[in-house]
Amino acid sequence: MRSVSSCLNFGWNLSEPSADKFGMRKILYIVGSDGDGNLIKARDAEKGNEFFCTVCKTELILRKSGRTGPGSKRPHFAHRTLTPNCTPETALHYSFKTLLSQKILEHISLNRTLQFYWQCGHCYDEHSGNLIKRAKKVAVEYNMTVCQPDIALLDESGNVFAVVEVVVTHRPDDNALKFYKDNNIALIQFDLESDMDLDDLELKISRPDLVSICRNPKCERCGHYQHKTKMSIIEAECWRCHSVMKLAVIEEPYDRGSSIGPSQFFKGEIEIARQNGVNIKEQFSGTVSRRYQANSCPKCPGFIGEHYLFTEYHAPAGYGELKSYSFDIGYYCGVCWTR
Ligand SMILES: [Zn+2]
Ligand SMILES: [Zn+2]
Ligand SMILES: [Zn+2]
Ligand SMILES: [Zn+2]
């Protein structure tokens, strides 16, 4: 009937990220560090300088042919000597985490917004947020006893309110997820596929792969995030007496099926429809032999049955054949079924 995500599953597939079909990913070392420990991308690096691996600290050679097109590899670094314990995955993870934390710090110091967008796993709406709205401090590999997030964002009281996890091979474990949830800490996760995720860092940062929170208000009764709803008012003509009549439809409410008519409205929703000039009355339908709330003619006993509401009015209104307007009517809880 209704789907409630379990506490740890935010509505996403939490399986490990997939390697490509050959079982390996081609990740190049495209970030190295200079002698002073500053990160530098291979495409910006100049030959003749010294470069070191960000992970194993050994010397790197810059591979940059200057050629483009088929067969030419993008600029990258290679270890001068064999380093069995250093993997490109670790280097990718380190580089992204470091560059992201530097970017966040830079935005905090300039007080410049760092906007990001995500498709919500709770309400399926598109949300946006500003990564530095509450952040006053950034901590990399912050020790929280139970876990050590890649990046922790701290508010002005020094409390962690959000963490960033960068996933190349390992997602945060269940203990960490539970800890974040129990402590009201938002999780922002970036899944990395290849070194190319470092190419357009700003774009990648603007689109995290997972954000655990919803922007909608929580239900006062059960604490779950509520769902936003939209009502459409359609101006039509009574099929019986041809008087002008208004009809109400709620657009695809989450967990309540596709668009619905007054028979499935909550009390408060019927009230909103009435305030918008819709005459909603209980009617008896011979077709389904039961009584239900229906859009009714204000002048005669005519009313619009649920079936015809969608085929004869709602659909034509969608094509612009009937005058209609839509508006947000606020939130309802898909768990308590209340508004
Ligand atoms: Zn290395
Ligand atoms: Zn949401
Ligand atoms: Zn509720
Ligand atoms: Zn009528």
In angstroms, what is the span from residue 230 Cα to ligand 2's centroid? 15
pLDDT tens per residue across span 128-176: 999 999 999 999 999 999 999 999 999 999 999 999 999 998 889 999 9
Model pLDDT, residue 255: 66
In angstroms, what is the span from residue 54 Cα to ligand 1's centroid? 6
Q: Which helix (H) or strand (E) holds 91?
A: helix 88-110
118 forms beta bridges with 127
CA angle in degrees (0–180, nearest 5) for 230-235-241: 140
- Cβ 134 vs Cβ 111: under 8 Å: no
In angstroms, what is the span from residue 328 Cα to ligand 4's centroid? 28
Tokens standing for residue 114: 């760092």
In angstroms, what is the span from residue 242 Cα to ligand 4's centroid? 6
In angstroms, what is the span from residue 62 Cα to ligand 4's centroid? 80
In angstroms, what is the span from residue 74 Cα to ligand 4's centroid? 71
pLDDT tens per residue across span 215-262: 999 988 888 888 888 999 999 999 999 999 999 999 877 666 688 999
Asked if residue 9 has pLDDT above 60, the reply is no
Nearest to 31 by CA among 21, 19, 44, 40: 40
User: Residue 56 is which amino acid?
Assistant: C
More confident residue, 266 or 14: 266
In angstroms, what is the span from residue 175 Cα to ligand 2's centroid? 24
Model pLDDT, residue 210: 95
Model pLDDT, residue 35: 84
Write down the mean pLDDT value for the chain.
87
Model pLDDT, residue 20: 44
In angstroms, what is the span from residue 329 Cα to ligand 4's centroid? 27
- Secondary structure, 3-state, 1-25: CCCCCCCCCCCCCCCCCCCCCCCCC
pLDDT tens per residue across span 277-331: 999 999 988 777 889 999 999 999 999 988 899 999 999 999 999 999 999 998 8
Residue count of the chain, please give it. Answer: 339
Cα–Cα distance list, 131 to 12, 152, 157, 326 (Å): 21, 11, 17, 31
Asked if residue 1 has pLDDT above 80, the reply is no
More confident residue, 117 or 71: 117
In angstroms, what is the span from residue 215 Cα to ligand 2's centroid? 5
Asked if residue 3 has pLDDT above 50, the reply is no
User: Residue 288 is which amino acid?
Assistant: V
In angstroms, what is the span from residue 77 Cα to ligand 1's centroid? 10
Ligand nearest to the CA of 279: 4
Model pLDDT, residue 338: 65
Model pLDDT, residue 16: 40
In angstroms, what is the span from residue 127 Cα to ligand 2's centroid? 7
Per-residue exposure over 276-292, b if at least 16 CB sit within 10 Å of its own CB, e if not: eebbbeebeeeeeeeeb
More confident residue, 338 or 247: 247
Ligand nearest to the CA of 241: 4
In angstroms, what is the span from residue 266 Cα to ligand 4's centroid? 25
pLDDT tens per residue across span 171-182: 899 999 999 999
Query: Lowest-confidence range among 14-18, 160-164, 203-207, 224-228?
Result: 14-18
Ligand nearest to the CA of 295: 4
Ligand nearest to the CA of 4: 3
C-alpha neighbours within 13 Å on the C-beta side of residue 114:
24
pTM recorded for the entire structure: 0.74
Tokens standing for residue 107: 């935005």
- Cβ 278 vs Cβ 246: under 8 Å: yes
d(CA 200, CA 217): 33
Q: Which residues surround ligand 2, an ion (CB under 5 A)?
A: 120, 122-123, 214, 216
Ligand nearest to the CA of 222: 3
Count of other CB atoms within 10 angstroms of residue 233: 20
In angstroms, what is the span from residue 5 Cα to ligand 3's centroid? 13
Asked if residue 101 has pLDDT above 90, the reply is yes
In angstroms, what is the span from residue 333 Cα to ligand 2's centroid? 12
Ligand nearest to the CA of 121: 2
3-state secondary structure of 315: helix
- Cβ 179 vs Cβ 147: under 8 Å: yes
